[in-house]
Structure 1
Amino acid sequence: MRLSYMGMLAVLGLLVLVGCQPPAQESAGERSRTSSTARPGVGGLVLPSEPVVSRLPRTGDVQAEPTMRVRVKVQAERAEFDSVRTITIAPLMSTGEPDPAAARRFTSPVTVAHDGQRFRFQDGSGRSLAWRAGAFHLSTGYGTDIRLGEHRYPGTFALVALAGSDGQPTGMFDVVNHVPMEAYLPGVLERELFPNWQLEAFVAQAIAARSYALFERRVNADRHYDIQATTASQVYGGTGTNPRAIDATRMTRGMVLTHQGAVVPGFYSSACGGLTQTATSAFPHFQQAVGITPLRGGVTCDHCRPSPNHRWGPVHRNADELADRIAAWGRANRNAVASLDGLRSVRLSHRSIAGRPARFEVTDRIGRTYPLAAEHFRFACNFAHPDRGPVPREQQLLSSHVEVRMQGSQITFTDGRGFGHGAGMCQWGAQGMASRGYTGRDIVRHYYPDAELRRMY
């Protein structure tokens, strides 16, 4: 844990201020998945409210295997931890390290709650303790996994009390898994790819996921977590057991994508639909950092044709319903489109240098026009409205690579291509290339042109 995090805790009276913006609904719903079935998905869907990063992490920033801080439970009211032995709990000091003098050992399982002022712990023997501190460290002390919910996790945990935008305690807390990078990655790979895919597809995914994780680590340097465990970042379910995920991680230990001394964010999506997107179009709020040659897009891909989402549509939407969702997305994300008053027209106004849609324009009934980056437009169309609920699966936009027309009160999206933002590596394409004999290194070099591979530790 880095000092900047603990400094922030001190300033806030040991209560971390929760960002007032909820997660973008589409970032956690990019694909249909169940807890038992992996689905290739979308990595690197950074929320519009994230801070802008003007400089990528440098290759010299990491001298040894880093520890990733993965937020695995958000705004929890209760959590239960279990291990084969006892669990040691200690408050975190200003240095970011657990206080050994204050450490207490509890019999598993341990139930944690927060009453708005103190953390409350109760162990398997019935012993309970109320402890006033803003953050705690949990470990087994033996290097064994800890079970949280349905999953086992390597490493240790931090519990971080949360305050609302008014600075008042909420009685909720985040659970953050502190895990070495190479123990983290197998738990990502086996949930981002189908378990029977080619080993070399896993190798390519390991390189991309490691590179992307280092980018998120820089983006969130001043937060109490580096990366999330959902498609808001990349999916992580704890200890990985898939042999191909474990082997691919071992084979690529410390290996990342680099360009001119910087780590390349290893963005990836499920299926590009035949052509990859420019990263500056997919992530306009990061354009100062991601406007680099390996992420320029325009990579042609005929390897993802087997994807069930290679081509899709048409999708029909009611204009009033769509306008309500777009405006609601605008309110949730502090975008001017929050003022949208119905829909007069929707049009694709700009394409990226890669040839994919980069910007859409929506015009309301009184003639006001609002430009939206292609991915923001997709998020807005798929937004789960507080009153209308989520968008039915068959009406969702699977990507922003789509044509649009309006006739009367109906909006029709046609010629849909791919699934996800389309920047960087195409996962179905990686599997297709691996099936044809390409290596993982070949695959990442194809999807990230001019990138170099380097072992950082």
Structure 2
Amino acid sequence: MAGLKGLIKKMLILTVAVFMVLVSNIPALAEIPEKVRVGIITSNTGSSYLNAASVTFSVKGNYQIIDLAAIPGDEVIAIPAEGEQWKVFYLPGGVQVYQNENIQKITTGYVMVQEVNHSSENRVCLVGYANHEGQSVNIGKWYRGNMEFRNSGAALTVINDLSMDEYLYGVVPREMSDGWPLEALKAQAIAARTYTVANYNKRIVEGFNVLDTKYDQAYGGFNSEGDNAARAVNETTGKIIVYAQKPISAVYHSTSGGHTEDNENVWGTTPVPYLRGKPDPCSTNHGFADWTYTVSLDDVRNRVIQTGNQIGPINSFTLEKLPSGRVKSVIINDINGNTITMTGTGFGQMFNPGFYTYLSSDNFMSRLFDIKTDQVMNPSYYVINSLGQNAPVEGTNLYAATDEGTAVVLNETSAEFYIASANGISVCSKSPAGMVVFEGHGWGHGVGMSQWGAYEMAKQGKNYLDILSFYYTGVQITSDYNS
């Protein structure tokens, strides 16, 4: 009997051990963080507001200003009244807090404008700031939650600390219009929440989780909020997108122009199974689904030269394309047989830096484009023939006859012809006299969800599940990650 009990005991121990091994191999379920820390004024070049030496703020609602470095615990510096303007100054070894030009506190630690009790009526206004050169920058934006001021080594970093959904209230209507269909806004809310979870530690060494700009997600604080966007956030609270039980990096863009893109073709990273390019017919009617950019060949050549490449008068273009139609490489040939190769992105951004400097349908907006080659005309010149008539000569070289009766090329490698007339010598470019037209589609990197595509799908009666499962291959939308 004792032997049987011992055997049973051993079997139970073995079963528990096997179970523990199996459990240990199950991917850990991530939790949706309760709070998000957003970098508003930073030293990161991706910020809209950079390198503050002093920051002015005010509050609405129930707040206290605390010194997070105080020992033994957080020390209340002051209880700010509504309408009062306060300032935080950078010091080489910390920060100092002013009110009405009077020093309230000098500390080596962080200072936080903290809600005494959380309320949807509480706000902190970042009035503006001055940099180390004394230049003033107006902000004038209100933010929910808390606001932290810290010394980042050379300037102040200002961080908005607030709940996940309150953060999304200020993201969704910046990334989409508050007037868009609710199902599209819901898809955006879930994508933005998922992106935040998946990239939560992306900027942790800087003291915050995400920037408030396009380098993470556009966030405008309370000023940007809208009723429809807030409803979309509230009705999807806790929902994120997962693949293989892990939150995905839910990247998105304005419009694919008709075909989304594989992630590796944009960022050179390992292929991600849920970020696969596919035909996207719902992204062909809105936004910058179509754009046209017209420019002279001389202008193209000059811009190429400004990038450090040497090229003569341009003779032709060749486009190497990805399966999506996006241009991988542009091969430029000049009249002398020289060739240079540029990436499609590098070529397009010569005319519109970042594809973001100029925002209109008559600018170069993406690397999904074709060249309207019938606009690239052969150069044509006129010479006087033996009958005294003007005769057209096409091509890039002019020839002359020598005394021996042989033909020689005039100005073979030069970019111009020199022509003598009764009025003196004039210069004529060898470049084709016409314009080149780039006809393109879409705006943005093209990976993941097309926002205008989501708009069109919602207009057609699709719900947020339809939208997200179309743009992110093989994913699930779940609420099982609630903390």
TM-score by length of 1: 0.69
How far apart are the structure 2 equivalents of 1:173 and 1:356? 42
Aligned partners of 2:97, 2:91: CA distance in 1, in Å? 11
Tell me, yes or no, if the aligned pair for 2:293 and 2:364 is still in contact at 8 Å: no
Superposition pairs of residues 142-161 of structure 1, within 5 angstroms: 142-143=117-118, 144-148=122-126, 149-161=139-151
Separation of aligned partners in 2, 1:321 and 1:99 = 65
Find out whether 1:294 has 2:274 as its counterpart.
yes
| 1:323 counterpart letter in structure 2 | V
2:327 to 339, 349, 357: 357
Counterpart of 1:189 in structure 2 is: 172
- Kept in 2: contact 1:110–1:122 (CA 8 A): yes
Q: Secondary structure at the match of 1:453?
A: strand
User: Which protein has greater RCO, CA pairs closer than 8 Å, 6+ apart?
Assistant: 1
Residue of 90, 109, 116 corresponding to 1:114:
90
Corresponding residue number in structure 2 for 1:11:
none
The structure-2 alpha-carbon separation of the partners of 1:242 and 1:352, relative to structure 1 and needing over 3 Å to count, comes to: same
Alpha-carbon shift at residue 132 of structure 1 (Å): 4.2
Alignment match of 1:60 (pick from 9, 28, 34)? 28
Question: Is 1:438 matched up with 2:462?
Answer: yes
1:402 to 369, 394, 404: 369
Once the two structures are superposed, the pairs formed by residues 305-454 of structure 1 within 5 Å of their partners are 305-316=284-295, 318-319=299-300, 322-323=303-304, 327=307, 340=309, 350-360=320-330, 372=343, 374-375=344-345, 378-379=348-349, 381-383=351-353, 396-404=363-371, 408=431, 412=436, 414-454=438-478
Residue 70 of structure 1 is matched in structure 2 by 38
Asked whether the 8 Å contact 1:87–1:105 carries over to 2, the reply is no
Q: Does 1:102 align with 2:78?
A: no
Q: How much is the aligned-residue C-alpha RMSD, in angstroms?
A: 3.5
1:252-291 mapped onto 2 (5 Å cutoff) = 252-284=236-268, 287-288=269-270, 291=271
User: Partners in 2 of 1:224 and 1:131 — Cα distance?
Assistant: 21
Deviation at 1:64, TM superposition (A): 4.2
CA 1:361–1:137 in 2, change beyond 3 Å: closer, same or farther?
farther
Cα distance change, pair 324–452 in 1 and its aligned pair in 2 (3 A)? farther
Structure 1 gaps of 5+ residues are 1-57, 164-168, 328-338, 385-389
Find the counterpart in structure 2 of residue 332 from structure 1: none
Deviations 1:392-413 (A, max 9, x none): 8677421121235896499845
Secondary structure of the residue aligned to 2:205 is coil
Per-residue deviation, 1:272: 1.1
Contact 1:91 1:133 in 2 (8 A): no
Distance 1:219 1:110, change over 3 A: same
Distance 1:343 1:146, change over 3 A: farther
Counterpart of 1:160 in 2: which secondary structure? Answer: strand
Give the superposition deviation at 1:212.
1.7
Say whether the 8 Å CA contact 1:135–1:161 is kept in structure 2.
Answer: yes
Which whole-Å CA distance do the structure 1 matches of 2:62 and 2:345 have between them? Answer: 46
Distance change (3 Å), C-alpha of 1:161 and 1:349: farther
Match for residue 127 of structure 1 among 94, 102, 107 = 102
Aligned in 2, Cα 1:134/1:322: closer, same or farther, shift over 3 Å? farther
State the alpha-carbon separation in 2 of the partners of residues 136 and 343 from structure 1: 60
2-side partners of 1:162 and 1:251: how far apart?
38
Larger radius of gyration: 2
- The whole-number CA distance in structure 1 between the counterparts of 2:349 and 2:206 is 24
**Could you list the per-position Cα deviations for residues 361-385 of structure 1 after superposition, in whole angstroms to 9, with x for gaps in the alignment?**
679999795654x44554554338x
Q: Deviations over 1:28-87 (max 9, x none)?
A: xxxxxxxxxxxxxxxxxxxxxxxxxxxxxx973632434222112232233222112564
Instruction: Tell me which of 112, 118, 136 is aligned to 2:111.
Output: 136
Q: Which whole-Å CA distance do the structure 1 matches of 2:188 and 2:29 have between them? A: 22
Structure in which a larger fraction of residues adopt strand: 2
CA offsets 1:193-241 (integer angstroms, 9 cap, x no match): 1222110010111111112222332433433222211222221111364
1:112 Cα shift?
2.2
CA distance in 2, matches of 1:361, 1:91: 60
Q: TM-score, normalised by structure 2?
A: 0.66
Query: C-alpha displacement at 1:263, in angstroms?
Result: 1.8
CA 1:312–1:396 in 2, change beyond 3 Å: closer, same or farther? closer
Distance 1:266 1:183 in 2: 19
- In structure 1, distance between residues paired with 2:102 and 2:181: 49
2:282 partner letter: H
What amino acid does structure 2 have at the position aligned with 1:319? V
Gap runs ≥5 in structure 2: 1-25, 42-49, 127-138, 377-430
Q: CA-to-partner distance for each residue in 1:335-375, whole Å, 9 max, x for gaps? A: xxxx5456877966643343433445679999795654x44
Displacement of 1:320 after TM fit?
5.4
Identity %: 20
Please, which moves more after superposition, 133-142 or 221-230?
133-142
- Select 1:205's aligned residue among 188, 191, 215: 188
Aligned partner letter, 2:75: A
Aligned mates of 1:422, 1:295 — CA distance in 2: 10
Answer yes or no: is the 8 Å Cα contact 1:348–1:403 preserved in 2: no
Q: 1: CA distance between counterparts of 2:103 and 2:194?
A: 42
Deviates more, 1:246-255 or 1:61-70: 61-70
Flag the 1:308–1:261 CA change in 2: closer, same or farther, 3 A.
closer
